[in-house]
């Protein structure tokens, strides 16, 4: 079985809820980037030991949150030694608007993964109006209105997130075998 870690920032709990479903699908360890954009040394070690890393952030002003970017910048320490090369990578985001420019966030995750020499996993589930409701094939996108609590995130978005986690874990396991 592959070791998968889900590393995410969440300002108000919405990304956290999506992260929980991704992690459930992947049997992954959840790593929370704190309000200062930091994770602990032990959490860095978990990422270093993982076969797959899945990135998560809310979309804020058309991009990942600054806390996620601080984490990403700190990961440059790993870039210098190609420490994350050939790990499997994936990502997810949530926003309040139907588009909300979430693609920018996913594309940033893809760029980050490619800078590290990781292997990006897309999201192939077809949009049937419930699963992959947003119609994203680059990564997982979820959406819930600006005044809605995390509990109101549509179940289909969460099921999409869980299936995506399972897919990343399965691909990582195949590559590890
Ligand atoms: C500073 C800020 C910027 C935001 N920018 C966007 C945006 O560009 N597009 C959008 O659709 N929603 C935007 N939102 C809404 C959030 O993406 C949405 O509420 C999300 O579910 C928050 O996730 P979180 O609870 O994990 O922080 C923004 C919210 C905040 C607080």
Report pLDDT digits (tens) over 42-89. 999 999 999 999 999 999 999 999 999 999 999 999 999 999 999 999
- Say if ligand 1 is within 6 A of residue 61 CB: yes
CATH number of residue 60's parent domain: 3.40.50.360
Average pLDDT value for residue range 95-111: 98
Residue-level pLDDT at 103: 98
Q: How many domains does the chain have?
A: 1
**Upper half-sphere CA count for residue 18 (Cβ side, 13 Å):** 33
Range of the domain at 9: 4-176
Nearest alpha carbon to residue 169 among 42, 50, 31: 50
CB 97 less than 6 A from any atom of ligand 1: yes
On whether ipTM exceeds 0.90, the answer is: yes
């Amino acid at each position: 079985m592959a070791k998968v870690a889900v590393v995410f920032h969440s300002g108000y709990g919405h990304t956290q809820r999506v992260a929980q479903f991704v992690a459930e699908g992947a049997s992954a360890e959840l790593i929370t980037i704190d309000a200062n954009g930091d994770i602990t040394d032990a959490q860095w070690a978990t990422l270093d030991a993982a076969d797959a890393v899945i990135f998560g952030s809310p979309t804020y002003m058309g991009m990942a949150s600054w806390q996620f970017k601080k984490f990403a910048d700190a990961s440059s320490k790993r870039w210098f030694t190609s420490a994350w090369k050939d790990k499997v990578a994936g990502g997810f985001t949530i926003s309040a608007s139907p588009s909300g420019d979430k693609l920018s966030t996913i594309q940033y995750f893809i760029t980050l993964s490619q800078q590290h020499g990781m292997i990006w996993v897309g999201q192939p589930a077809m949009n049937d109006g419930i699963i992959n409701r947003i119609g994203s094939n680059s990564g997982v996108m979820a959406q819930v209105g600006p005044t809605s609590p995390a509990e109101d995130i549509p179940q289909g978005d969460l099921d999409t997130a869980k299936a995506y986690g399972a897919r990343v874990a399965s691909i990582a396991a195949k590559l590890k075998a």
